[in-house]
């Protein structure tokens, strides 16, 4: 594994003074004898957009579910904005917007109906609710579809509706599990545009196995393979001796797993 120290740039060293907003501290998850994640350690500092890479089945979703407090780690600790997500989940969740792999969408509702529903569930007051719904519709470019049933929307719009829901309470940390999976190139462009806008003000961990996504969006990469961390550093440092492209680097670090 390339040591994080070897791949650090001046920029990443300067970033070390910012506080960690997402922390995986020795996170493991066992299903019987099988380890879906094993002693995963990394952190994402305020303002960073970090890509979480790995082949299918590497343990990305499992790690993200532990980070968000959705499942309990077998070992280790997950912290959001300094809050332990097992002991202090409510406080941590105030800072966190989570877009799971298959977002929580209510297909018979319209985006407007769903946003109202989630705003009420979160206890937003009437005025705050209107302001926040207007804001997320704007950020996620949903104005043309707010009154259409979610079931009738394209995949790209569905994904942006999922994002809008995750942004409703104005979280400063976003964890997104493969937000562009299964989208066509135009839809990918739309979702990336939204994410770029979000990255100006938020700390983001974004899982993907699309390497162009990493080059297009991220300042740093955390990579896992078979549940273990295999790389933590900047995009340039990902390429090891002999690797010409990011595809080569991915193949080297994951030993061509699941290919
Ligand atoms: N509830 C579970 N019980 C048993 N095994 C599980 C469970 N959840 C996940 N796994 C296994 O853990 C491993 C990691 O799965 P995970 O979904 O975290 O991978 P991933 O990197 O997100 O993959 P993908 O890119 O395909 O979404 C896989 O082998 C998966 O089958």
Which value does ipTM take for this structure?
0.96
Bridging pattern class, strands 203-208 and 173-177: parallel
> Backbone phi, then psi, for 220, in 5-degree steps?
-140, 160
Please tell me whether residues 5 and 119 are part of one structural domain.
no
Please tell me whether residues 57 and 153 are part of one structural domain.
no
Tell me the pTM: 0.86
| pLDDT tens track for 20-53 | 999 999 999 999 999 999 999 999 999 999 999 9
Please tell me whether residues 179 and 86 are part of one structural domain.
yes
Please tell me whether residues 128 and 241 are part of one structural domain.
no
Q: Which of 24, 27, 29, 31 has most ligand 1 atoms within 8 Å of its beta carbon, as the pocket-test mutant? A: 31
Residues 6 or more apart in contact with residue 78 via CB below 8 angstroms:
23, 24, 25, 27, 66, 67, 68, 69, 84, 85, 86
Please tell me whether residues 140 and 201 are part of one structural domain.
no
Residue 76 · residue 40 · CB < 8 Å = yes
Pocket of ligand 1 (CB under 6 A): 31, 36, 54, 56-62, 209
Q: 212-226 burial, b for 16+ CB within 10 Å, e for fewer?
A: ebbeebbbbbbbbbb
144 Cα to the center of ligand 1, angstroms? 36
Please tell me whether residues 143 and 117 are part of one structural domain.
yes
So what's the pLDDT on residue 3? Answer: 45
- Which parts of the chain register pLDDT below 70? 1-16, 103-104, 240-244, 256-259
């Amino acid at each position: 594994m390339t040591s994080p120290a070897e791949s650090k740039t001046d920029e990443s060293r300067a970033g070390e003074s910012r506080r960690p907003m997402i922390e995986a501290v020795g996170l493991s998850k066992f299903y019987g004898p099988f380890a879906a994640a094993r002693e995963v350690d990394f952190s994402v500092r305020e303002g960073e957009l970090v890509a979480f890479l790995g082949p299918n089945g590497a343990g990305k979703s499992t790690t993200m579910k532990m980070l968000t407090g959705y499942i309990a780690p077998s070992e280790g600790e997950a912290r959001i904005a300094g809050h332990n997500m097992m002991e202090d989940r409510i406080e941590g969740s105030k800072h966190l917007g989570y877009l799971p792999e298959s977002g929580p969408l209510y297909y018979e509702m319209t985006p407007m109906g769903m946003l109202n529903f989630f705003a009420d569930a979160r206890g937003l007051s009437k005025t705050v609710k209107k302001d926040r719904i207007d804001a997320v519709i704007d950020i996620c470019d949903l104005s043309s579809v707010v009154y259409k049933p979610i079931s009738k929307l394209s995949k790209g719009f569905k994904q942006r509706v999922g994002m809008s829901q995750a942004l409703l309470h104005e979280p400063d940390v976003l964890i997104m599990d493969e937000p562009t999976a299964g989208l066509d190139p135009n839809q990918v462009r739309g979702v990336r545009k939204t994410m770029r806008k979000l990255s100006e003000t938020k700390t983001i961990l974004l899982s993907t196995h699309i390497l162009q996504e990493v080059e297009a969006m991220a300042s740093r990469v955390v990579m896992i393979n078979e549940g273990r961390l295999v790389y933590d550093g900047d995009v340039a440092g990902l390429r090891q001796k002999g690797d010409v492209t990011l595809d080569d680097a991915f193949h080297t670090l994951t030993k061509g797993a699941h290919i």
